[in-house]
Each structure stands twice: as C-alpha cells, then as structure tokens.
C-alpha cells in the first residue's frame, strides 16, 4: 500500500522517465527510473526510514544514482534531475501519455516534427492527416490513436452505478477463480453506493499478494496494466462505453477490517474518525487501530469501530453527516433493505412502451419475492410511448383480472402513470382514476411551464398515489424540470401523496439530497423501478442504495406496506 511519501517520490521518478522519453531518450536509463518507481510504490515500509537506516541500496531495483536522488528528495523535497528533465517539455504532453495506444516515442516524434504541445494539437494533426504522414506512422496508426483519445476522454467520466456494480461483481468472481484470498470486496464509493463512481477499488486479504495481482491483470478486458506488484495492481478495463480504472489492493488478514474501512471512505468520514481516535489517544490507519505500538483492532470493521466506541456504521452513511455522533450514542437508524420492499409501484408492460407482457412481469415479480406489482402503463396523451386510451386501459385491466384469478402469492394492482397536463389536470377523468389501485402522476412535457404548480394541483386529486420522477433529471444529460422541490415536498406531506424514488439508473430521481428534504418534511417515498424491459425490475437495488444514502428506513417507504394499506390518505384500501 505504501505511504504518501513513497508515492510522491515514485511519481517524481516516473515523471523523469516520461520526460526523458518525450525528449527522445530511451533505453536503460528510462527503464531504471520506471522500475524504481514501481518498487517504491510497492514498498511496504516508509522510504524515509529505509534511508535513515542506510538500507536504500539493499532494495533490489534501486541503483546508486537513483538512491542519491531519493535521498535528495527526502532532504529537500524535490530532485534537481526532475526539474532538469522536465525543463522545456510542454505540460500538455505529459497528459498524452495516458492515452491508450499512444507511446512516448510517438509523442516525441509528433512534438519534434509537428510541434504539438497538447491534446488539442494532437487532435488537429490527426484530422488534417499530418500525423499519418510522419515516417513510421500511417493512417492505421493515426486511426488507432484517435480511438485511444476517445477512450481516454471517457475514462475521465464517472461510471454509472449499475455498470460499476456489474463490473465489480464480475472482477470479484474472476478473482475467486484465481489463487485463494481470505476475503475480497469492492471498497470506495461503489461500496458507499453513490450514484456514480470514479475508479473502482477492490480489496483482498491474502498472503499470496503477487500471484493474486498477476491473476487480476489477466482479467479478460484488461487493456492496459498501469501498475503491478506484491500488494497492488492497477489496470484499465475497456467496456462497451467506458474505460474503467480498477485498482486491486492486497492486505494481510489481520488488517482486513481496517483496510476495508479506510478504502471505503469517504474522506470526510475518515478524517473525522482519525481526529476522534486522536482524542482517545489512539491512532487509526489502513493497518489497524493502535494504542502506541499495540494493535487494538484491525481484523474486522466492527472491531475497528468498536475500538473507537462506535457502533458499526453502514457504508452508505459514511459521509460525515452526523453518523459518527449517532454511532456513539447507539442511535443509528435501521436503514431500509431490499427485502423490506413488498412490491414495485411503477412498471410498464407491452400495453404501452414496455417489452414484457403482464404475465412476464408477474413472473419477474414472483421471482423477486414481491407480494404485489402495480402495472402503470402510460396515459392517453403520451402517444410516443403508446399511452392507453380508456378503451385500451379496459383491455389491459381485463388481462390483469384474468391473471389475478390464477396467480398465487402475487397481486397485480391496476395502475397507470398518468400525465400531468399543462394546466395541471390529469390525463384521465376521475371516473377512471377512481377505479385504479395505484396512480403515479408525472410530467413528460412542458418541463419549464409552471411545473411546481401543476404537481401540487395533481396532488390535490385524491386518487393520486405518488408523483413519479419528481425532478425529471436524467443522469445521462438532461437537466430536470424547473421545479421547486421544497414546495412539492411540503404539499406531498400535507396531502399524503408519496414522492417517488425512481430507481431507473438513468434517473435515480429523487436523488439523495432531495430524498432527505422530502422526509424531513414528513413526506413518504415510493420506490419504483420504472421497468420497461427484462431485468429492469432488478434496478430497484440501486434505488435502495440511494435510499440508504438518504438514511431512509422502512417506515419512510410506502411500498414496504401490504398492498391493502397503500393509500394512507383514504380510509379504505384500494378498490377490489
């Protein structure tokens, strides 16, 4: 795992190697710097200590010249060689080294022959054909660099939680086929279940570090190995739409809990823990909780928190938002779990724009162990999504009745996703709405027009169960409605209408902050998958992740109740 000083010096040495290569140097000198950087990254002890004890030269991979430079860095905080090597090399060229398929040699040639200084310059010389005309390059190579640039730019983006989760699960499954590890788990923001993550962090407890890292770098889909050593591996994995950086760290079994805690974060939470530890005369690190030299805890997260006088804190809460005080007082909320949901309140069938029949939806719901499922196809004015005319709605309901007669253990609820029209009226008359078990009202047009007023008007209708995707944002790009979510939340609490947490991963709407606002006003939340296709119902897990990040408990969520009690606002249950 190294420490920050080791990493800083390693980064300096790599930078020297990069600069030399860009300037056209190659061969053993460059390789020596790279090797030394790698050795330092993996070094388990503090390099300063090694230097003080005069053992620098004993480390294999660090020669005399480099040992001197390390000592210079320890004395002065920098290395003259670094300044000398990087002098005159445009800063932008270093970034180009991160582009898959683009080596320092090519950067050197393009710099020398064409004077490129940045990514923008590189793009230019690719598109005007000048790069391809250089000796030893050609159109094929230029094209592959263009692809590399695309990948590089995607790599800078955050990965949506569903893709990140699937990849992490797949990597973990792959690791389980390799050399045995005591424990293995994703860490980082994935484990905290944020709506998107940067890099993926995977942690393993094992004594056989380098074999495990070797196996990790052979994961199918690895397109680039950034680092590999005895305690750490780092790779790029190229997926269909993203390039992911995945880091594997290996820790000894007795540090597992401390390392998992440390690498799960968040930073703010860990800073708070460290200062709490300090106040208690303890020290907490990725190796354990220590009193002086003595390790008080480290093998499990529970032990580490307990050593600090705290209950174990669910990862989703670790954001320094007051969770540490609650953990000390034994007052942490019991967060909602996926199994608390008794049904899904928002799915589409082939009657509107879904691709599954109601029967197929029912089997999916049964597989998930649900007690009920609300079929909520679109209402009449949404033609682009196959909105149902009243006559068509009757056909759909006849199919629901037919299935309910034969289904065991699952109740299909008659529902609709009813549009809130531009005047705030609903897209079906009250006679129809009154016959439905579940009405989710939502806006699909007029995103800028009186949205708040329209939503509140819709909530006054006694048949409305919930407002679906209340802000309309799409994670892939679209900004949401011009809506005042505070006023909507207030009205929702007053009228007893739920606000939806739409678990579709492109929506996750309400988001965690708005969820907190809504429940702070006493509002109730309904969680729906907004399923359109096979497998979509399982996205509910990402909604649960967000709900937990917002500290929601079972009591906050409408569809943890039996279906007969869904309508808090009415005396009687849903019709039929």
Contacts to Zn ion by CB under 5 A: 417, 442, 530
Considering the complex, what minimum distance in angstroms separates the CB of residue 281 from Zn ion? 55
Considering the complex, what minimum distance in angstroms separates the CB of residue 338 from Zn ion? 20
| Nearest to Zn ion of 56, 376 (CB atom) | 376
Considering the complex, what minimum distance in angstroms separates the CB of residue 251 from Zn ion? 44
Q: Where do we find the tokens 């980082």?
A: 188
Considering the complex, what minimum distance in angstroms separates the CB of residue 523 from Zn ion? 19
| Nearest to Zn ion of 399, 417 (CB atom) | 417
> With helix as H, strand as E and coil as C, how does 446-464 read?
CCCCCHHHHHHHHHHCCCC
Phi and psi at 289, nearest 5°, equal: -105, 125
Task: Please state, in angstroms and as integers, the Cα–Cα distance from residue 420 to each residue in 63, 428, 451, 471, 566, following that order.
Answer: 72, 10, 9, 13, 21
Considering the complex, what minimum distance in angstroms separates the CB of residue 508 from Zn ion? 14
Considering the complex, what minimum distance in angstroms separates the CB of residue 119 from Zn ion? 39
CA distance 83 to 91: 13
- With 0-12 / 13-18 / 19 or more C-beta atoms within 10 angstroms meaning exposed / middle / buried, residue 420 is buried
| Nearest to Zn ion of 141, 532 (CB atom) | 532
| Nearest to Zn ion of 206, 442 (CB atom) | 442
Q: Beta 411-419 vs 438-442: how paired, if at all?
A: parallel
Considering the complex, what minimum distance in angstroms separates the CB of residue 557 from Zn ion? 18
DSSP for residue 388: B
Q: Is the dihedral of CA 331, 335, 339, 343 positive or negative?
A: positive
Task: Please state, in angstroms and as integers, the Cα–Cα distance from residue 118 to each residue in 112, 125, 152, 365, following that order.
Answer: 13, 11, 14, 53
User: Are the beta carbons of 219 and 237 closer than 8 angstroms?
Assistant: yes
| Nearest to Zn ion of 104, 436 (CB atom) | 436
Pair of tokens at residue 313: 């804190």
Cβ atoms within 10 A of the Cβ of 272, count? 17
| Nearest to Zn ion of 165, 442 (CB atom) | 442
Considering the complex, what minimum distance in angstroms separates the CB of residue 502 from Zn ion? 8
| Nearest to Zn ion of 30, 385 (CB atom) | 385
Task: Please state, in angstroms and as integers, the Cα–Cα distance from residue 121 to each residue in 126, 334, 450, following that order.
Answer: 9, 55, 46
Q: Where do we find the tokens 């309508």?
A: 567
Pair of tokens at residue 272: 């708070």
Considering the complex, what minimum distance in angstroms separates the CB of residue 478 from Zn ion? 13
| Nearest to Zn ion of 201, 417 (CB atom) | 417
Considering the complex, what minimum distance in angstroms separates the CB of residue 429 from Zn ion? 20
First CA to last CA across the chain, in angstroms?
62
User: Are the beta carbons of 437 and 414 closer than 8 angstroms?
Assistant: yes
Task: Please state, in angstroms and as integers, the Cα–Cα distance from residue 149 to each residue in 24, 92, 123, 491, following that order.
Answer: 22, 14, 8, 49
- Chain position whose Cβ is nearest to Zn ion: 530
| Nearest to Zn ion of 155, 345 (CB atom) | 345
Considering the complex, what minimum distance in angstroms separates the CB of residue 187 from Zn ion? 34
Crossing angle for the helix pair 512-520 and 540-549, nearest 10 degrees? 60
DSSP for residue 206: -
CA distance 248 to 464: 48
Residue 494 parent element (H or E): helix 485-495
User: Are the beta carbons of 152 and 100 closer than 8 angstroms?
Assistant: yes
| Nearest to Zn ion of 303, 530 (CB atom) | 530
Considering the complex, what minimum distance in angstroms separates the CB of residue 482 from Zn ion? 17
| Nearest to Zn ion of 442, 471 (CB atom) | 442
| Nearest to Zn ion of 264, 442 (CB atom) | 442
Q: Which residues pair with 70 in a beta bridge?
A: none
């Amino acid at each position: 795992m190294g420490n920050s000083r080791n990493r800083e010096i390693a980064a300096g040495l790599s930078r020297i190697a990069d600069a030399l290569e860009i300037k056209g140097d190659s061969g053993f000198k460059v390789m020596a710097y790279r090797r030394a950087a790698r050795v330092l990254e993996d070094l388990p002890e503090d390099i300063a200590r090694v230097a003080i004890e005069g053992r620098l030269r004993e480390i294999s991979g660090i020669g005399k010249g480099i040992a001197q430079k390390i000592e210079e860095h320890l004395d002065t905080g920098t290395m003259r060689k670094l300044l000398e090597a990087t002098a005159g090399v445009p800063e932008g060229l270093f970034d180009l080294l991160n582009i898959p398929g683009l080596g320092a040699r090519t950067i050197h040639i393009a710099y020398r022959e064409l004077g490129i200084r940045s990514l923008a310059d590189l793009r230019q010389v690719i598109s005007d054909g000048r790069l391809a005309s250089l000796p030893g390059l050609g159109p094929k190579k230029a094209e592959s660099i263009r692809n590399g640039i695309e990948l590089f730019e995607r790599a800078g983006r955050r990965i949506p939680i569903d893709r990140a989760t699937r990849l992490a699960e797949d990597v973990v499954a792959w690791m389980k086929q390799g050399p045995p590890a005591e424990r293995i788990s994703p860490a980082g923001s994935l484990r905290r279940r944020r709506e998107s993550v940067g890099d993926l962090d995977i942690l393993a407890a094992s004594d056989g570090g380098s074999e495990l890292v070797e196996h990790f770098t052979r994961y199918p889909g690895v397109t680039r190995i950034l680092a590999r050593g005895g305690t750490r591996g780092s790779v790029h994995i190229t997926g269909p739409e993203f390039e992911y950086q995945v880091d594997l760290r290996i820790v000894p079994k007795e540090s597992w809990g401390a390392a998992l805690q440390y690498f799960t974060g968040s930073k703010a939470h860990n800073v708070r823990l460290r200062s709490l530890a300090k106040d208690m005369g303890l020290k907490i690190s990725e190796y354990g909780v220590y009193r002086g030299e003595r390790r008080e805890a480290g093998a499990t997260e529970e032990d580490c928190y307990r050593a600090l006088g705290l209950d174990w804190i669910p990862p989703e809460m670790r954001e320094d938002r007051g969770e540490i005080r609650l953990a000390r007082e034994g007052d942490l909320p019991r967060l909602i779990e996926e199994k608390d949901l008794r049904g899904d309140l928002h799915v589409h069938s082939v009657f509107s724009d879904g691709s599954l029949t109601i029967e197929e939806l029912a089997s999916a719901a049964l597989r998930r162990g649900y007690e009920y499922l609300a079929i909520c196809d679109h209402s009449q004015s949404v033609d682009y999504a196959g909105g149902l005319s009243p006559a068509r709605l009757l056909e759909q309901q006849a199919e629901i009745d037919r299935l309910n007669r034969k289904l065991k253990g699952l109740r299909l609820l008659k529902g609709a996703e009813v549009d809130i029209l531009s005047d705030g009226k609903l897209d079906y008359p009250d006679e129809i709405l009154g016959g439905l078990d579940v009405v989710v009202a939502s806006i699909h047009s007029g995103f800028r027009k009186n949205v708040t007023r329209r939503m509140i008007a819709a909530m006054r209708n006694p048949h409305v169960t919930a407002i679906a995707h209340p802000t309309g944002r799409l994670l892939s790009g679209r900004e949401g409605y011009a809506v005042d979510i505070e006023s909507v939340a207030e009205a929702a609490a007053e009228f007893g209408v739920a606000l939806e947490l739409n678990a579709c991963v492109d929506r996750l709407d309400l988001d965690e902050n708005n969820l907190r606002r809504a429940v702070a006003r006493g509002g109730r939340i309904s969680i729906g998958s907004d399923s359109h296709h096979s497998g979509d119902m399982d996205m509910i897990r990402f909604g649960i992740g967000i709900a937990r990040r917002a500290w929601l408990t079972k009591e906050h969520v409408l569809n943890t109740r039996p279906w007969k009690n869904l309508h808090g606002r009415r005396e009687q249950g849903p019709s039929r």
